[in-house]
């Protein structure tokens, strides 16, 4: 290379130019300390899953914002229950199947705590707290007296050990408690026989885990990466913020409480002379003088009283709390008012903008992920098989294999009355003077182009 070649302008392109344009891949001063490991999500879950799960459960129990967000998430995900609607053409047979289903929902819980729709709410809460839940199909005997010999048993995420990664005796691979065959299909789950954190269950169990076929287990979780085998808590992105904010609020409250206990401080030159209302000194030599309403204290020469004036939290406390909780709400994917219950700065437009996006996400979670749709359909398939065997309904499984699953109806707020209303009030135009109320036409909720056609017909009439 000649001497003058060094001053020539290099041709654009090449690996060096590409690296310069990828700002996130730069390793200069600002990003020198940012070196995340290139690990698969399954490795992250296997190593940090138990601690993440323990912290998540503690937050939901002890933190008010986390508990409120969990209930809001479950209420919007399943509502009062995702219900099947039979599509059988025969009306008589459809009614019989529907009555049998309604009777079975009351005895669906293997623990006897709730019904089928209560189980859905418990699964939704586990989705928020643990990111996953297991439902085991428990066939029952005829002498148990059930209309359909099938019950559902909910198992928490801790029942499937994260650390169980090995090779089974049959040659299958066991990863985080889930057994896979040679082509990657799930064939079994290795559940613990008792909860590892339940100190009330002291029975000796040998062996520690039991192998349950995958056909009898519904693994309900939301996969966020390709190949993910275990779920992540929905609260995981907001855990650190919630924990630190809770500590900050607790310290601020304790500081204000301590400062409010001191009314004033008395300074005197002769400490051996007692004051009116002064108690005996403690081991450290400090004494406290109490005051009563209407007390007139005469100060001796050399004594001085200084009243306590504790520092306030400042004007930035409210703004700081608001911004922090906004970040928490964004991390949870929930509207701000559902997490905090604060609607002071909200109006109809802002609430609707939040709820439209939130309901779109909930609809995607209900229908497009494995959290509700496929799990409910799989459980219903097992119910249909046992229903046809144990009851007098003489129909094939295919005849009742196509129910339509309907989610809970979401209320819409009417801007005219401010109350939930499934209809839509549309203000067309001002009629007459300003003192008169605008003309309003009641239009049922329907697609936009149909509403426009209906409004046009009413205006022309």
Q: Establish if 262 belongs to a structural domain.
A: no
Under the banding of pLDDT at 50, 70 and 90, the label for residue 14 is low
Residues 419, 399: one domain? no
Q: Full-prediction pTM beyond 0.95?
A: no
Q: Establish if 455 belongs to a structural domain.
A: yes
Residues 67, 115: one domain? yes
Cα(319)–Cα(315) distance, integer angstroms: 8
Q: Establish if 421 belongs to a structural domain.
A: yes
Residues 98, 168: one domain? yes
Query: Is 424 within 8 Å of 445 (Cβ atoms)?
Result: yes
Q: Establish if 47 belongs to a structural domain.
A: yes
239-261 and 316-332 are packed helices; what angle lies between their axes, rounded to 10 degrees? 150
Query: Is 159 within 8 Å of 195 (Cβ atoms)?
Result: yes
Higher pLDDT, 241 or 99: 241
119-152 pLDDT tens trace: 999 999 999 999 999 999 999 888 888 888 889 9
Q: Establish if 302 belongs to a structural domain.
A: no
Nearest CA to 365 out of 328, 407, 395 is that of 407
- Cα angle, residue 245 at apex, residues 243 and 247 outer, rounded to 5°: 70
Query: Is 308 within 8 Å of 255 (Cβ atoms)?
Result: no
Residues 75, 106: one domain? yes
249-304 pLDDT tens trace: 888 888 888 777 766 666 666 555 555 455 555 555 555 556 566 555 666 666 77
- Cα angle, residue 226 at apex, residues 224 and 230 outer, rounded to 5°: 60
Residues 445, 399: one domain? no
> Could you tell me the two tokens for 14?
């090449």
Q: What are phi and psi of 132, to 5 degrees?
A: -160, 160
Beta strands, E only, 214-335: 217-221, 264-267, 304-307
Residues 394, 448: one domain? no
User: Chain-centre distance of CA 121, in angstroms?
Assistant: 12
Q: Among the listed ranges 94-108, 221-235, 377-391, 434-448, which one has the minimum average pLDDT value? A: 434-448
The DSSP bridge pattern shows strands 404-406 and 83-85 to be antiparallel
Residues 384, 453: one domain? no
What is the tally of structural domains in the chain? 2
pLDDT, position 435: 43
- 76 sits in which H/E element: helix 64-77
Query: Is 275 within 8 Å of 297 (Cβ atoms)?
Result: yes
Range(s) of the domain holding residue 181: 41-237+371-406
Cα(371)–Cα(73) distance, integer angstroms: 13
194: CB partners within 8 A, 6+ apart: 201, 203, 205
Residues 175, 200: one domain? yes
Q: Establish if 419 belongs to a structural domain.
A: yes
Q: Is the pLDDT of residue 101 over 80?
A: yes
Residues 110, 154: one domain? yes
Residues 207, 128: one domain? yes
Residues 418, 401: one domain? no
Q: Establish if 108 belongs to a structural domain.
A: yes
Q: Is the pLDDT of residue 378 over 90?
A: no
Q: Is the pLDDT of residue 441 over 90?
A: no
Q: Among the listed ranges 42-46, 133-137, 398-402, 425-429, which one has the minimum average pLDDT value? A: 425-429
Cα(307)–Cα(265) distance, integer angstroms: 6
Q: Establish if 416 belongs to a structural domain.
A: yes
Q: Is the pLDDT of residue 169 over 60?
A: yes
Cα(295)–Cα(314) distance, integer angstroms: 33
Query: Is 136 within 8 Å of 380 (Cβ atoms)?
Result: no
Residues 77, 158: one domain? yes
């Amino acid at each position: 290379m000649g001497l003058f070649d060094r001053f020539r302008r290099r041709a654009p392109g090449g690996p060096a130019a590409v690296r310069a344009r990828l700002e996130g891949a730069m390793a200069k001063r600002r990003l020198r300390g940012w070196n995340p490991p290139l690990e698969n999500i399954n490795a992250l879950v296997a190593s940090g899953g138990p601690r993440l799960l323990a912290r998540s459960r503690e937050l939901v129990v002890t933190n008010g914002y986390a508990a409120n967000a969990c209930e809001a998430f479950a209420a919007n995900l399943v509502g009062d229950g995702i219900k099947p609607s039979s599509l059988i053409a025969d009306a008589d047979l459809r009614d019989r199947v529907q009555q049998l289903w309604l009777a079975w929902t009351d005895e669906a819980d293997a623990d006897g705590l709730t019904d089928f729709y209560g189980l859905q709410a418990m699964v939704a809460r586990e989705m928020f707290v643990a990111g996953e839940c297991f439902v085991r199909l428990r066939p029952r005997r005829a002498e148990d007296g059930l209309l359909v010999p099938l019950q559902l048993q909910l198992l928490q995420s801790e029942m499937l050990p994260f650390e169980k990664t090995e090779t089974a005796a049959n040659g299958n691979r066991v990863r985080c408690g889930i057994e896979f065959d040679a082509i990657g299909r799930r064939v079994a789950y290795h559940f613990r026989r008792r909860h590892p954190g339940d100190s009330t269950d002291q029975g000796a169990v040998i062996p520690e885990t039991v192998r349950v076929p995958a056909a009898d287990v519904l693994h309900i979780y939301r996969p966020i990466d390709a190949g993910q085998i275990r779920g992540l808590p929905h609260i995981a992105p907001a855990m650190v913020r919630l924990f630190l904010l809770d500590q900050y609020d607790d310290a601020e409250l304790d500081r204000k409480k301590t400062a409010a206990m001191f009314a004033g401080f008395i300074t005197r030159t002769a400490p051996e002379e007692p004051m009116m209302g002064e108690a005996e000194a403690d081991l450290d030599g400090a004494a406290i003088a109490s005051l009563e309403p209407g007390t007139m204290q005469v100060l001796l020469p050399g004594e001085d009283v200084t009243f306590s004036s504790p520092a306030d939290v400042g004007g930035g406390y409210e703004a700081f709390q608001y911004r922090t909780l906004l970040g928490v709400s964004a991390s949870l994917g929930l509207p701000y008012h559902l997490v905090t219950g604060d609607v002071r700065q909200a109006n109809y437009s802002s609430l609707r903008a939040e709820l439209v996006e939130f309901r779109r996400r909930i609809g995607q979670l209900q229908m497009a992920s494995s959290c509700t749709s496929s799990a409910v359909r799989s459980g219903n398939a097992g119910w249909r098989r046992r229903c046809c065997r144990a009851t007098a309904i003489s129909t094939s499984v295919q005849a009742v294999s196509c129910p339509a699953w309907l989610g809970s109806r979401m209320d819409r707020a009417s801007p005219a009355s401010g109350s939930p209303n499934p209809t839509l009030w549309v203000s067309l135009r001002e009629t007459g003077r300003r003192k008169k109320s605008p003309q309003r036409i009641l239009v049922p909720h329907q697609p936009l182009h149909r509403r426009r056609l209906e409004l046009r017909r009413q205006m022309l009439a």
